[in-house]
Amino acid sequence: MVAPASTLVALAVGLTLLGASANAAGPVASGPSGGPGAAPRSGPGTGGIAPTGRAGNPLPAAVPYMGWNTYYGVGGIFGEGTILSVARALIDRGLARAGYRIVWLDFGWASGRRDRSGQLVVDRHQWPHGLSWLTTWLHRHGLLAGIYTDAGSSGCHGQGVGSLGHYRQDADSFAAWGFDAVKVDFCGAGQEGLDPRPAYTRFAKALANNSSHRRLLLNVCNFWVPGQINGVRPTFANSSYGSYRWAPRIAQSWRTDTDIGFSRNVQWVNVLRNLDHDASQPTAAGPGHWNDPDYLGPELGMTSSEAQAQLSMWAIVAAPLILGSDPRALSDSTITMLTNRQVIAVDQDPLGIQGTVVEQEGDGQVWSKPLAGGQAAVALLNRGSEPLRITTDASTLGLRSAAAYEVRDLWAGTTETTAGPLEATVAPDSAVLYRVMPQQR
């Protein structure tokens, strides 16, 4: 039940449960176990066998992968110096330790020029030491490396790097250079009229059979929504809305909606839009394959409460956590928000179940995500412009009965024990996030 309220009040909590682990104090994530220079637990040192997930787990992206991407915070102009500077910020500001380990080069890493043999030309002014040197540096510092290409002959509007006609050649190059992840865009490919499923299937096969026998994570970035290209194309089946039908069999993630914003511009209204479309097919996601609603964008146009709500909801829907903002420019409070280990633990829960809406009234929503160990994560989301009092209970959440429940507010850092309803007054454009643990009888 959801009711308007004029002031924020203290939380009164209580309920029953359906699912999560005792790992509430820290994420089941992939980060180095030691300091910033520690060797990574898995992946780069062993050919990228498990670029994300627990040490020793051979499944790529056993939990949603985490990292940073150049696209929203840096844009298309970057080179070796920028990437090293950002990588140091990820380490020095604790983001890498919290799990944000993939340093992902997006469309601006190359012009798309090729030499006579068809190999992509690496600009020595942009990458003076070369890309193999860069990935080695990142791996040595406990980080992972991601790279970008388009499934078409070039990127958007005939510009930038594209791999059409060179899928195997480029897959071999990315692996030989030491990358751990590849984002394959469909901007140029869609404009050229390609169908996504056969194109991505061919690329996935090339990546899986690369000459270095290196295991790389594949992100399907078909962001087009129906009719977005020219009013007719793509069809629903060939759009981001239809990728869930085939992408889980070939990739570790796939986009579920169009871009969440523009360079240095991510707005709350688009966060809600992408959240809704990502939530439409929750059973498509699971360990090793994830719905991808696009990147986190704190300080790119949202308020601090909106950015916190985005991370809350991305955790509930088990989304890959890729930071789009420039970590060098973020405030200390935003870094603290992004590195909240109890929130990250919800996203990284080993069950890999995507949370869903279990109750909605007006602008208020109740979301529930089963977690390992008989616990659950619960988000109360206020999508409106006025404070709302949101109330739910055990039966609505589908939780097993218990005499009492420990309810941990993951943002406030407080814990309550209760047997009553779960309720809180939630500020506009905000979310409250709980981990609920049934107590032993």
* Interval 155-206: pLDDT, tens: 999 999 999 999 999 999 999 999 999 999 999 999 999 999 999 999 999 9
Residue 13 has pLDDT above 60, yes or no: no
CATH code at position 425: 2.60.40.1180
Lowest-pLDDT range of 50-54, 165-169, 223-227: 50-54
Cα–Cα distance measured from residue 146 to residue 50, given in angstroms and rounded to the nearest whole number: 14
292 an active-site residue? no
pLDDT at 417: 87
Domain final residue pick, 347, 368, 384 = 347
Mean pLDDT over 67-83 rounds to 96
Looking at the structure, tell me whether residues 332 and 401 fall in a common domain.
Answer: no
Tell me, yes or no, whether 10 and 76 share the same domain: no
95 and 203 belong to one structural domain: yes
In which band, very low, low, confident or very high, does the pLDDT at 19 lie, cut at 50, 70 and 90? very low
- pLDDT range class, residue 33, cuts 50, 70, 90: very low
The H or E element that residue 109 is part of is none
Q: Which of 106, 150, 170, 185 is catalytic?
A: 185
Domain identity same for 226 and 362: no
3-class SS at 367? strand
> Is 286 in the same domain as 392?
no
CA 9 to chain centre: 32
* Same domain membership, residue 149 and residue 127: yes
Pairing of β 375-382 and β 66-69: unpaired
Q: Of 195, 259, 276, 409, which residue is the catalytic one?
A: 259
pLDDT of residue 419: 81
More confident residue, 6 or 134: 134
If asked whether residues 382 and 403 sit together in one domain, one would say yes
**Does 92 qualify as catalytic in the annotation?**
no
Are 96 and 226 contained in the same domain?
Answer: yes
- Which of 422, 417, 439, 399 lies closest to 11 in space, CA to CA? 422
The whole domain housing 392 covers 2-21+356-438
Residue 16 has pLDDT above 50, yes or no: no
Give the model's confidence band at 439: pLDDT under 50 very low, under 70 low, under 90 confident, else very high: confident
| pLDDT on residue 43 | 33
Residue range 241-257, pLDDT digits in tens: 999 999 999 999 999 99
What's the average model confidence in pLDDT over 3-14?
A: 35
Give the total number of structural domains in the chain.
2
Burial tier of 22 (Cβ tally within 10 Å: 0-12, 13-18, 19+): exposed
Same domain assignment for residues 13 and 41: no
26 in a structural domain: no
Q: Is residue 332 part of a domain?
A: yes
- Domain C-terminal end among 284, 312, 347: 347
Inter-residue contact 427 to 384 (CB < 8 Å) = no
In a domain, 334, yes or no: yes
Say if residue 343 is in the same domain as residue 198: yes
Spatial contact of 369 and 18, defined as CB atoms under 8 Å apart: no
pLDDT per position as a tens digit, 313-330: 999 999 999 999 999 999
Query: Could you tell me the two tokens for 219?
Result: 């992100």
Same domain, 196 and 287: yes
Q: Give the per-residue pLDDT at 441.
A: 63
